[in-house]
Chain A
């Protein structure tokens, strides 16, 4: 794994390489916090230039996966391979050379920007990881370029985060994240705290940057509309495990797992005529505890079409017809199976 990578911002066109480099590889990733089995065996890989969305409800473990990848926490088991290097158990010092390969953007930009630092200092911080000292002037130039790239005026460098709006702060987070020209950007709910119009601007920006620079991106979110807009591939997570994985087209057109179907059915469409003609699928509220996940298929307690086998036998994530990977006993090898949006009565957790 010695793919030579350009470290400057221009990057090479992702189309230039026929078989794109695998930037992130998770193999059976496990992260337990004491009794809480937050992540319980997730395997996933992302190639250069690819946006993979990790979706699921709060408590599904999706953010923990992101934190394992940037090594904010040390995984309990499994491996995290970044640009070919196993970083799973590296010490802080050993991690340093790999830090520039991956960056993260959080949901709440106010909480992830140091309020006592000027925007310019915040954005310049990742440059400290780079080999060779930069002159003051070079640094200022790099910061100005970085800010321009995310649609901010270079003068913003002399402001404090509190002087900026939520959307501008998220742009600063992005500018900082992209400063070291990372091969992978982990974006953890980057637009969830923003208003619709600002959200649109940040999603557009992410799409533009990703296309221009060609970094790989793990887009962690619960917002399915944003996923459809931004992602190439989708991994659906439920209680620490993957329920389904496939291309955007496959997942939205032919969701196989009952949980994916329910998620898609639950996300309201901003169109009153279409929205009101849909049949609601109600799962009931309670995501079971990650301290004591249900036996068999973890989704069986909320699944409208579960059968006896689902509570006994753990379904493996397997490739089915159509190219998606699904962990459900009820999905046949050719990819056919029940659709809770049409097949099941919507009764769970609902008053008579």
Chain B
């Protein structure tokens, strides 16, 4: 079922990243846990795609499985094609070569991913010496250049600094500089601004956009923040309990969310001009389930106000929405037996 829409996705150019039926199961002490179930998504050259969902929805596991960062207890099936090369099941050496050079990853917490005893310059040159076989001197020049590219003032001095001498935002910029040192085709950014202040976040998002515009980097950004999504993403993938429940262009998704979970998320966030005196935020009762195996049912049914018997007995497929035109940002897909259709964007309940 996934192949039906995969080819028609987004722009006509071949995707740089093509994920098909990716599933991840963890072996744990209390039995298997299904974290990701048949996720399919594509990333076109120069595109920014966002994965959104709450904690426990499988968005980070999806991202980490792309770059082979999951522990040995994870069983991964499906296909991840990076420029046509299969990454799932690839030999460690092949994966190592791809990682950093073709696909790079930045984490939420830059402090724990930077080596505290090496200068930031050394950490960037390391990547360049390994992958690009640059001389020490040339690598150092590139490092200065890269720090400039990610908006670090006086980069020539900064290369000599240690991570603890930098602010959180500067560290995240260093992480991005390391990640893009070898000009990867794909950058996976896992909650890159979650630990940062809004003023700093704005700068980091600007850097990511700049990389896309100047280097043509494709970016997969994982976030729970709908504001961040609204700011940078071209297309959005909404995940719930390990599955993709909706995929659409950014404006289409915010304008006409089809899945009740998406609509719930949109209505839960406080929006400008609303005060508790006259408005109420929409709550989604219940919790994201932890599943030992994926049931043949909609996993959101328990929390969904539109759920019917069908929802509890059969899993809906991710299929094109039968309304409106498919915009420039590709078709709108939803996995729901009772999509919201032309219902207006979720309105906040008004308190009496």
Contacts and interface: CB of A to CB of B under 8 A. Distances in A.
Partners in one complex: yes
Interface of A: 57-58, 165, 195-201, 203-204, 207, 211, 222, 224-226, 228-230, 248, 252, 262-263, 265-273, 275-276, 280-287, 349-351
Contacts of B203: 282-285, 349-350
B192 to A, nearest CB: 13
Contacts of B202: 265-266, 268, 280-282
B251 interface: yes
A4 to B, nearest CB: 28
B200 A228 contact: no
A131 B223 CA distance: 49
A226 B270 contact: yes
B198 A267 contact: yes
Given A204-B280, A267-B227, A252 B170 contact: no
Given A271-B254, A272-B251, A286 B170 contact: yes
A225 B271 contact: yes
A268 B275 CA distance: 18
Given A204-B280, A349-B153, A225 B228 contact: no
**Residue of B250, B270, B279, B287 most packed against chain A (CB within 10 A):** B270
B228 to A, nearest CB: 6
A351 B224 contact: no
A267 B264 CA distance: 21
Contact of A203 (B173, B210, B281): B281
Nearest to A208: B276
A269 B271 contact: yes
Contacts of B330: none
A282 B275 CA distance: 27
B199 A273 contact: no
28 contacts: A57-B200, A58-B168, A197-B283, A201-B285, A203-B270, A204-B283, A225-B272, A228-B274, A229-B274, A252-B273, A267-B198, A268-B227, A269-B227, A269-B230, A270-B254, A272-B251, A272-B254, A273-B254, A280-B202, A280-B206, A283-B199, A283-B203, A285-B200, A287-B167, A349-B203, A350-B203, A351-B148, A351-B149
B231 A275 contact: yes
Contacts of A281: 202
Contacts of B80: none
Interface residues of B, number: 54
B54 interface: yes
B151 interface: yes
A275 B154 CA distance: 31
Nearest to A351: B151
B281 A270 contact: no
Contacts of B205: 268
A41 to B, nearest CB: 22
B164 to A, nearest CB: 13
A196 B169 CA distance: 23
B268 A197 contact: yes
A349 B205 CA distance: 13
Given A229-B281, A351-B150, A196 B275 contact: no
Given A203-B281, A285-B170, A272 B230 contact: yes
A197 B264 CA distance: 8
A267 to B, nearest CB: 5
B197 A58 contact: yes
**Residue of B54, B251, B281 most packed against chain A (CB within 10 A):** B281
A270 B280 contact: no
Nearest to B172: A285
Contacts of A262: 199
Contacts of A275: 227, 230-231
Contacts of A228: 270, 272-275
Nearest to B268: A200
B251 A230 contact: no
Contacts of B274: 228-229
A252 B232 CA distance: 24
Given A197-B264, A263-B199, A270-B230, 15 more contacts: A57-B200, A195-B54, A196-B269, A200-B269, A200-B270, A204-B280, A222-B198, A229-B270, A230-B276, A275-B227, A275-B231, A280-B206, A283-B203, A284-B153, A350-B203
A224 B170 contact: no
Contacts of B200: 57, 285
Given A200-B282, A204-B280, A270 B269 contact: yes
B109 interface: no
B327 to A, nearest CB: 12
A247 B269 CA distance: 22
B2 interface: no
A281 B55 CA distance: 30
Contacts of A198: 54
A229 B210 CA distance: 33
Contacts of B250: 272
A293 to B, nearest CB: 15
Given A224-B198, A286-B170, A207 B276 contact: yes
A267 B228 CA distance: 9
Contacts of A229: 270, 274-276, 279, 281
A268 B197 contact: no
B197 A222 contact: yes
